[in-house]
Structure 1
Amino acid sequence: MTMSSALETPELLTWDQRSDNEILADLQTYKPVDGTSERNIWSFWDKGLTAYGSPNHYSKYFSDPECFFPAALLQKTMKGTHVGPHAADLIRLPLLYLYGGVWLDVGFLLFRDLDDLCWCALADPFNPVELAGFKMTISQALAMFWNGLIGARKGSLVIKYWHDIFLNVWNNRTSCDGINSHPLLRHLPRYEVPSSTGLPPAFVYKNFVDYLAQMFCLERLQHLRDLNRDWDGLRFFESRVLLFECVSEVYWAQHITHLDGRKQFNMLSCVRAETEPEFLEAEKFIQEILSTSSTMKLSHGLVTEQGEYLARIWDEPENEDADCRPGTFAAYLRWASVYFQQMKKLTPVQLPVYADAIITGNFLQILGESHPIAELHSMIFGHLLLVNGIQYFPHELECPSIVYLDLWPVAPSLAIVNDPDLCAQAIQRIEFSTKSLAEQVHSSSGTNIKHHTFLRSRFAPAFRHQNVVRNIPIVIEEASIFTETLRTQAGSLGGQLGNVFSLEDKVSEFVFDTLANFTVGLRLNEQTNGHSALRLAIYRQTANLLPRNLFTLKRRMNPMYYLGIWKNNQAIARILVPIIRSRSHGASNMSIGMLNHHDKRTVLDIVAKTWLSHNQTKSEEEKDAFVDSMLQNVKIFMLAGHDTTTAAICYAFELLAYHPGEPEKLRAEHGSVFGKDRENLGDIIQNSPEKLNNLPFTLAVIKECLRLLL
């Protein structure tokens, strides 16, 4: 057969010399992702290579799948004709976001190297391209990004935003039916597919949208401006997306046969030794594909009564080997996908813009966050009511100052106060909540009743500026480990980036270590050794913080619930009570003068001394009361203090990332106060802690993060 000059045979070294059986065996062997490279090829086959039992099943590449997938996929409750393709849709974007690489649908034949097709452009640090693929032209005025081949780098925000929209569309669904009417998609123009025969399309339009929902989600992202996320879809797709024409580069076989799958099947089944007109037509068909296209996609497509797809015909039992039968053009096409290299110059194209589809709003932030109606969701119930007040009170200009919710018997009734002056009246001037809080809160962070006032008088000295400064070395020691961890995780400066990791996990370990050291002088080494027994026990106990309502009644009536609480309390007490007792005994033999400015003193040291100095008898009963009260407060410090501080630090990182100019201001301020000797920064702060008072911009960033997000 004469081949076009657009095809060249690559060097022998580029061929995979393994047999089919060796390749199949390799595909069924688990391979962890190489963290030093993003040259990954991802595919999903829901029916082959042992399917759910595959050693390379997608679930093995996600440590927290609940963050990426809807319940229907996780619980295997997806239904409908196209479960396999839609499962692949839900999986492809998270894999690209976490690891980078190229997604290929399994029905692909490649006639061009992926480096040449897209990866060289994506990997080039001087090329702005962040997303690569094919433009599926529907008509002269309509086109979409086709999702059968997607190239992207690890951590690409366009992939994240795309999946956020798609995940929202799939929320509370078990099938794709009705996705076309979702509020995020129904404002898009109709992407009517013209018929090459002049007849109406063989499918209902809404089924077409449901089937290609992921592609329509990217259309929404393209036509979206979100100023809070600094996202301009039109500008991004104009300059940062590499596209080639899908019809000529992927679907040329379907195009020249007018989507006639049966005709494609007959030509590819033709034996090459024949000289009949059918052979000449089939030869021309193959030549045109190989000289025109960089790839060929064998789609199963949207199921219709009229349509026949080549892939579906090949799936029929009587055609089991028709796609590779020796001597046929089908076998030759497979051979060409291995040994031929398409060298025709590719011409990038762009997607059209539809003015009527453009919307501006804070969609990405909303979609990227979740507000599940969980057991502790009432903590932000008032905030959500205030934000959505117009929905519940459509005849009011704003949400009423006081809203009474009679939720009995489902939950206790609520009076939600939305006015600052009324809040001050209810909480500061007249403490209506005194009785209920006095019964529930045993820490120093309670009301102004006598018991809570007493506790605060004992704990306040430990948090005075003098003692905080005295314990700066503790913070410096743990912060040094934390910053080194971040450097290791992020990768070398100017070199290979590290793997994606959870910043929240690293920050919480740092904060928990610092709190344990500062509060009771306990070195947990969470940052280096992982979760300690104390932290695990406290975390387990938080799962038992159930509100008293109808939804939690069944669990609260279970004796095992209270047994779990008792076991967790015992685990915490075994670790903390001996420390508290030893410190209280030491404090009883220590004079106040021993707590000088140069000694590091934990909260426990100060509170023990203050507590026992107010009671000269120091009876065993009083010491036991101190131990019990200290234990309750340490648990509160460790849980609440670690949670809020972790959130504040993470939010600070996030906000600074979204405002690129601000980190430079922080560095400039730190440089002017501490100098440029970063290696000895800890010593500088330890020797001159007063320098921390000369960071107004840093303090403003911290306060703004607290104001905005906590």
Structure 2
Amino acid sequence: MSIVSDPVLIGGAAIPASSKEAQVQTLPLLAYPIPAGCHAIPAEELDLRSDAEIDQSLANPRPISTDYQKNIFFFWHSGYEFMHPYTKRNVRAHYRRLAKFGWNIYVINRVEGSPLNIVNFVDVTDPELFPKAFLDGRIGGDFAPQHTSDLVRWPLLMKYGGIYTDVGQLQIGDLNRLWEQTLGNPDSPYDIISYNLGPIDHRDLANYFYASRPNNPLFLRAHKLLLALWNADGGKLSTEGMHASPLLKGPKLIGQRFSEEIRKKLTDYIIQGYCLTLAMGLIDDEDGWDGPTYCAEHIYAIDYMVGSQLIQQYTNWNGKEAFRLLSLSLPEDGEDESDDQKKAREIVEACLSKSYSFKLAHGYIVQVFGDTLGSLWRKHDGSDYVPGTYAHWLREAMTYWTQDELPERLDFKVIEPYKRGPLLRES
């Protein structure tokens, strides 16, 4: 595989090196093959400025408005400047692909004096939006940054609408097109886009990607429940033990294939998602809320395994194996493909042609499975972006290519409720 520097190749489409687009490229791109089901994004639809220029735009985004919903929110407690290089690449790829379609990208933080501090977007002193621990700056536990992030995403979406996605999320499919055909279309029945964790008859939306219009009724109720858990017993400082709240009786603990101890810890870790699951399965006649019917009619849910975790089917959730395979170099011209290279190629081609996104796992999951691809890319700086490797092929494709089709929506049916009665009444 040879590196092409003149002319520069962008997603397989040659652009003369003398053109403005080519001149701003900071790295030569590789002529990787485009898998079936994908196509190169036209250069005029991409922001092809240098990384430094993209970073400057991210640091100085357009002012936000409640009248405009094409917003993408990320969160990093200490700010974009201090994000790891591989997650910066995730955010830049979103910017390059979406900015020209009118999307505003905000990397929200909690940095004193920063224009991107959450205090400049929502009222963090409002007890109906944030728990006492957040207001007092006392959120603790092993995963305080993650839980701080959990607490900002619904208030942002409820006020402004748009998309909240984790910094570990790599986008493959056409996000703007899906938005325009669903939430951006006033005639569409869909209010939410997310990934469903587990079988189709289970309601568990992945909190690493939420899209909604403002004032979403499901998020409103789930957030009320989340706040009640945080404010219980005079105010919690972490999510430890929240799974045992009598407000949460109904849904099974998260991660049924694990031991009970791990299920409890995993549910505490993803307590936001657990609150959403209960609200999705709640029928509250006093409030006029029918969660099972709402979900069947108004959620565009994508299967999470194929949609965002397909690599796990190839590596059996073995992060070290995923890292090893994607770190391999492609065969040189005239060189035979090894068995490992074949498997790495199949992973890349499958993800690019079948997955709508690629979620890098971190947090508590590392304690359960050991190192993940994301944690290893963090430990080995730059390993996700070595030219000529399968990781680099995947990376470049996610910036310069997209899929021909949109992801299939799961056909949610009306399920038996998990709970009947008021949301905040113990059962």
Query: Scaled by the length of structure 2, what TM-score is found?
Result: 0.78
Q: CA deviation at 1:312?
A: 1.1
Relative to structure 1, the CA distance from residue 234 to residue 308 in structure 2 (aligned partners, 3 Å threshold; closer, same or farther) is same
Contact kept? 1:188, 1:357, Cα under 8 Å: yes
Q: CA deviation at 1:236?
A: 0.7
Does 2:278 match 1:212? Answer: no
Does 2:311 match 1:239? Answer: no
Does 2:340 match 1:309? Answer: no
Counterpart-to-counterpart distance in 1, 2:239 and 2:251 = 17
Counterpart-to-counterpart distance in 2, 1:64 and 1:304 = 32
Counterpart-to-counterpart distance in 2, 1:326 and 1:342 = 23
Q: Which residue of 2 aligns with 1:293?
A: 355
Q: Which residue of 2 aligns with 1:163?
A: 223
Counterpart-to-counterpart distance in 2, 1:333 and 1:238 = 34
Does 2:216 match 1:146? Answer: no
Contact kept? 2:159, 2:215, Cα under 8 Å: yes
Relative to structure 1, the CA distance from residue 248 to residue 201 in structure 2 (aligned partners, 3 Å threshold; closer, same or farther) is farther
The amino acid across from 1:146 in the alignment is A
Aligned with 1:8: secondary structure? strand
Relative to structure 1, the CA distance from residue 149 to residue 326 in structure 2 (aligned partners, 3 Å threshold; closer, same or farther) is same
Match of 1:174 among 237, 243, 263: 237
Provide Cα deviations, 1:108-144, integer angstroms capped at 9, x if missing partner: 111112122344311222222111111111x576451
Q: CA deviation at 1:229?
A: 2.5
Counterpart-to-counterpart distance in 1, 2:46 and 2:260 = 41
Alignment of 1:460-471 (within 5 A): none
% same residue: 26
Counterpart-to-counterpart distance in 2, 1:188 and 1:164 = 17
Q: CA deviation at 1:180?
A: 0.4
Q: Which residue of 1 aligns with 2:75?
A: 44
Larger Rg over CA atoms: 1
Relative to structure 1, the CA distance from residue 354 to residue 185 in structure 2 (aligned partners, 3 Å threshold; closer, same or farther) is farther
Provide Cα deviations, 1:9-63, integer angstroms capped at 9, x if missing partner: 1222111112111111222225420343110001111244255334312121124
Does 2:373 match 1:321? Answer: no
Q: CA deviation at 1:76?
A: 2.1
Q: CA deviation at 1:192?
A: 4.0
Provide Cα deviations, 1:372-424, integer angstroms capped at 9, x if missing partner: xxxxxxxxxxxxxxxxxxxxxxxxxxxxxxxxxxxxxxxxxxxxxxxxxxxxx
Match of 1:76 among 116, 137, 141: 137
The amino acid across from 1:170 in the alignment is W
Counterpart-to-counterpart distance in 2, 1:264 and 1:41 = 28
Contact kept? 1:145, 1:351, Cα under 8 Å: no
Q: CA deviation at 1:345?
A: 4.5
Counterpart-to-counterpart distance in 1, 2:340 and 2:72 = 37
Provide Cα deviations, 1:81-132, integer angstroms capped at 9, x if missing partner: 2112211111000000001101111111111121223443112222221111
Counterpart-to-counterpart distance in 2, 1:115 and 1:203 = 41
The amino acid across from 2:318 in the alignment is D
The amino acid across from 1:37 in the alignment is Y
Provide Cα deviations, 1:352-373, integer angstroms capped at 9, x if missing partner: 7663723123x36x89xxxxxx
Match of 1:283 among 345, 348, 366: 345
Contact kept? 1:135, 1:350, Cα under 8 Å: no
Does 2:136 match 1:136? Answer: no
The amino acid across from 2:288 in the alignment is D
Q: Which residue of 2 aligns with 1:189?
A: 252
Counterpart-to-counterpart distance in 1, 2:138 and 2:53 = 35
Aligned with 1:103: secondary structure? strand
Q: Could you say which structure has the higher strand fraction?
A: 2
Query: Scaled by the length of structure 1, what TM-score is found?
Result: 0.48
Does 2:162 match 1:101? Answer: yes
Counterpart-to-counterpart distance in 2, 1:60 and 1:17 = 29
Alignment of 1:108-123 (within 5 A): 108-123=169-184
Counterpart-to-counterpart distance in 1, 2:284 and 2:368 = 42
Q: CA deviation at 1:277?
A: 3.0
Q: Which residue of 2 aligns with 1:263?
A: 321
Contact kept? 1:301, 1:309, Cα under 8 Å: no
Q: CA deviation at 1:156?
A: 2.0
Higher RCO (C-alpha under 8 Å, 6+ residues apart): 2
Contact kept? 1:268, 1:282, Cα under 8 Å: yes
Counterpart-to-counterpart distance in 2, 1:257 and 1:352 = 32
Q: Which residue of 2 aligns with 1:61?
A: 121
Alignment of 1:13-28 (within 5 A): 13-28=44-59
Alignment of 1:218-617 (within 5 A): 218-274=276-332, 275-302=337-364, 303-304=366-367, 306-316=369-379, 319-351=380-412, 355=416, 357-361=418-422, 363=423
Contact kept? 1:102, 1:151, Cα under 8 Å: yes
Counterpart-to-counterpart distance in 1, 2:228 and 2:411 = 27
Counterpart-to-counterpart distance in 1, 2:212 and 2:368 = 36
Counterpart-to-counterpart distance in 1, 2:341 and 2:225 = 48
Counterpart-to-counterpart distance in 1, 2:212 and 2:201 = 27
Q: CA deviation at 1:181?
A: 0.5
Aligned with 2:206: secondary structure? strand
Q: CA deviation at 1:203?
A: 6.3
Q: Could you say which structure has the higher helix fraction?
A: 1
**Paired positions, count:** 357
Q: CA deviation at 1:298?
A: 0.7
Q: CA deviation at 1:208?
A: 1.1
Counterpart-to-counterpart distance in 1, 2:79 and 2:373 = 19
Relative to structure 1, the CA distance from residue 14 to residue 191 in structure 2 (aligned partners, 3 Å threshold; closer, same or farther) is same
Unaligned runs of 5+ in 1: 195-199, 368-710
The amino acid across from 1:57 in the alignment is N
Aligned with 1:155: secondary structure? coil
Unaligned runs of 5+ in 2: 1-31, 82-108
The amino acid across from 1:60 in the alignment is N
Task: Please report the RMSD computed on the Cα atoms of aligned residues, expressed in angstroms.
Answer: 2.4
